[in-house]
Chains A and B, each alone.
Chain A
Amino acid sequence: MFLFNYRYRLKCILRDRQLMFWTLLFPILLATLFNLALSNITTAEEFIKVPVAVVENDQLDANPAFTTALEGTDELFAVQYTTRAEAEALLNDNQISGYIVFEPDLNLVVNQSGLNQTIIRGFLDDFLQSSATIVTVITENPTALDNGIVAGVSSRSEYLTEVSASQSNPDPIVNYFYTLIAMTCLYGGFLGLKEVVAIQADLSDVGARINLAPTNKLTVFMSSMLAATTIQLAELLILLAFIIGVLGISFGNQLGYIALTCVIGSLTGVTFGAFIASVIKKGEGFLTGILIASTMTMCFLAGMMYADMKYIVTTKIPILAYLNPANLITDSFYALYYYTSHTQFFTDILLLCGFIIVFSAITYFVLRRQKYASL
């Protein structure tokens, strides 16, 4: 009976086009849209070299040290050598942030204040300070050249060691994909809901027929739930493969833990749908509405529509963060991607397991009732 029902439930779920759209195609479409919309955020945060012009004249030729110093800043400045007139024209057209000219002292010409202008000025100040120091040292102590003291003036020592607190560099867009996966996990609720509706005599006519058959209802229920979880997991794996393989979003390299999160997340979603269908005695349409509303609320609070919401909830109402399955699933992925320790990850997983147990227990106690008060 278990396998017989399992096989037929797989068929029923796979042939339900509406269900397959919402649980598989919709998340894929949303992931694609996220990728298109959020790629601009990454582009906007990339550092663009400061465009600067240097006026070629005899004074510049007389200061080869400056040219050498400028060559060492190719990651900071996009330099072009021009005449003064050309530099002036470029500045007026806003094609450069400023231009440097020796006349005979070193001057910076800008037409506005801003970050780029500050960066250029910082470089020039540093150059002038180092030059003055070297001149002073050589004037007062000519042997300093032989002792290597002058070389020490321009060198920089790092007295702090950079230690990364996370495994990966912060990426502002991955959290959106984590919440999308959390949403997909919770959309497994549609499958759980469908299975409970199919076996409850007070929710569907086929449910009444199943209740009249000489079969253990809980066996049918368990087999139906297994079918729902199988489909949900397969859909989630397809979505993950799409996000990682096609969209190129990184989820770290801890595949075992990622799979564990998917399984636990799927079970949370499926049991959540079963829970909704078993405790609310309304039509399937109403139950679906409740499921969508609650899932989207949870995803919103986990930062799906507004990334800072996750931070706001965690700092202002931390208990809500722990009571939100969407946030826990999101957080699990987040912990795997960023944290070197697994403490946060396992905390999230254990809390999700708690939700699965609570949802399953309540569903079981409702379903084990063998007679209905009304149909």
Chain B
Amino acid sequence: MVINVKNLVKRYGDLIALDHFNLEVQEGEILGLLGPNGSGKTTAINCILSLLKYDKGTIEIFDQPMSPDAYDIKRDVGIVMQNVAVFEELTVYENIDYFCGLYIADRQTRKKRVAEAIDFVGLNDFIKFFPKKLSGGLLRRLNIACGIAHQPKLIILDEPTVAVDPQSRNNILEGIQKLNRQGATIIYTSHYMEEVEQIASRIAIMDKGKIIAMGTNEELKKKIKSGEHINLELLNPEDLDLEAIKALPHIISAELTDHQLVVKSGRDKNNLIAILDHLKDQNIAIGKIYSEPPTLNDVFLEITGKELRD
């Protein structure tokens, strides 16, 4: 096992930041740690990395107890932090070389790894640039390069795409998947469910300092009652009997806003057909129709009673 955290408790005064937090990460997986801001993701990561003191619990990485001077463990861990952590006075190349040099003393090996990291994040044209000359997306790429240049076995990425444009975000996500294919185990924390859904092989959902659900994307969605979201554009909504729609089997909720009818249904394959038949019987003309499968937000909403982005 790559990471094994048991009963981790971290308090800030009266506030419990981590409440008996448990986590197991298997080799070769991409674990998405999903939760709203303030749910304890970064605190958990900092405790796992022995940066933060904690009140209770045990942490093992690569089956060894983790501590600040566990250099053998640290050598195989890479971290990409939420904030860009680079020296403003050093160029792109020098920053990557410096942080890689904290892990690899041999100059030739380091030179090769730095070149590979620069290539990996696509900063070849910017190696002599100072950080303040880089755009937000390029800075994030530099931040990633500094964290992974020493080619660690475990990479922890803490919200690496915050304030990044869509194109750079896609590049970053593709890069993370590539690192995983090359053999690295990844922990990816985010409050963007789409990102986690896109890259994670397993997802842990956090709230109030503990993991409230864990599994693959499909497993998590199967745990909830709600199925698809059906959106219908009604041309004559004044003729609609909304209560009759709500009374249909497997319908969890139905809301009409202007011409837009949104129906949340339970897990049944024939929900859409039943709704369409009913509307036809009521002589309601329909414009556009589309259906969405349940999202991780639905999972979070059903478990906690609040939106993931609240």
Give A contacts to B, CB under 8 Å.
1, 4, 8, 11-13, 15-16, 198, 201, 204-206, 208-215, 370-375
Q: A370: nearest residue on chain B (CB-CB)?
A: B68
A372→B51 contact, CB < 8 A: yes
Measured in the bound complex, the distance between the Cα atoms of B121 and A32 in whole Å is: 50
Contact B89–A11 (Cβ < 8 Å): yes
CB <8 Å contact, A205 and B85: yes
- Given A11-B89, A16-B89, A372-B52, answer yes or no on A214-B105 (Cβ-Cβ < 8 Å): no
Q: In the assembled complex, how far is the CB of residue A62 from the closest CB belonging to chain B, in whole angstroms?
A: 86
Please give, as numbers and ranges, the residues of chain A lying within 8 Å of B147 by CB-CB distance: 209
Given A206-B87, A209-B79, CB of A370 within 8 Å of CB of B98: no
Q: Write the nearest CB–CB distance from A150 to chain B, whole angstroms.
A: 84
Q: Is B12 an interface residue (CB 8 A)?
A: yes
B81 near A1 (CB under 8 angstroms)? no
How far is it, in angstroms, between the C-alpha of A201 and the C-alpha of B46 when the chains are bound? Answer: 10
Interfacial chain B residues near A374, Cβ < 8 Å: 12, 52
B-side contacts of A198, CB under 8 Å:
87
Interface residues on B, range: 20 to 34
- B103 is an interface residue with CB less than 8 A from chain A: yes
B-side residues, CB < 8 A to A, are 12, 46, 49-53, 67-69, 71-72, 74-75, 77, 79, 81, 83-87, 89-90, 94, 98-99, 101-103, 105, 146-147
Q: Please tell me if the beta carbons of B90 and A215 are within 8 angstroms of each other in the complex.
A: no
Known: A15-B90, A214-B72. 13 other contacts (CB 8 A): A8-B87, A13-B89, A201-B51, A205-B85, A208-B81, A208-B85, A209-B81, A209-B85, A209-B99, A214-B71, A370-B69, A371-B52, A372-B53
Measured between C-beta atoms, what is the minimum distance from A99 to chain B in Å? 72
Q: How far is the CA of A370 from the CA of B81 in the complex (A)?
A: 19
Partner of B90, one of A12, A205, A375: A12
Nearest B residue to A374 by beta-carbon distance? B12
Count CB-based A-B contacts (< 8 Å). Answer: 78
- Which one, B67, B69, B71, B146, contacts A209 given CB within 8 A? B146
Residues of B within 8 A of A205 (CB): 81, 83-85
How many angstroms between the C-alpha atoms of A198 and B83 in the bound complex?
15
A–B complex contacts, Cβ < 8 Å, 6 sampled: A214-B103, A370-B67, A370-B68, A371-B50, A371-B53, A372-B51
A208-B84 in contact (CB<8A): no
A204 contacts across to B, CB distance below 8 A: 85
Contact A15:B89 (CB < 8 A) given known A211-B51, A212-B49, A212-B77: yes
- Bound state CA distance, A372 and B74, in angstroms? 17
Residues A212 and B89 in contact in the complex (CB < 8 Å), given A11-B94, A372-B53: no
- Indicate if the CB atoms of A214 and B68 lie closer than 8 Å: no
A372 to B46, CA, bound (A): 10
Give the complex CA separation of A372 and B52 in angstroms.
Answer: 5
The smallest beta-carbon distance between A238 and chain B, in angstroms, is 20
| Residues on the B chain within 8 Å of A373, using CB | 52-53
Shortest Cβ gap from A353 to chain B (Å): 32
Q: Is A213 a contact of B83 with CB atoms below 8 Å?
A: no
A264, B10: Cα distance in complex, Å: 44
| Cβ-neighbour of B52 out of A15, A210, A375 (below 8 A) | A375
A213 x B74 contact (CB < 8 A): yes
Contact, CB under 8 Å: A210 / B90: no
Q: Known contacts A16-B89, A201-B51, A374-B12; is A214 also within 8 Å of B102 by CB?
A: yes
Q: Which residues of A contact B74 (CB under 8 A)?
A: 212-214
Kindly identify which residue among A11, A13, A213, A370 contacts B103, using a CB–CB cutoff of 8 Å.
Answer: A213
In angstroms, Cα B51 to Cα A373, docked, is 9
- Closest chain-A Cβ to B249's Cβ sits at a distance in Å of 52
- Quote the shortest CB–CB distance from B243 to chain A (angstroms): 53
> What residue in chain B is nearest A13 (Cβ atoms)?
B89
Whether B99 pairs with A213 at a CB distance below 8 angstroms is yes
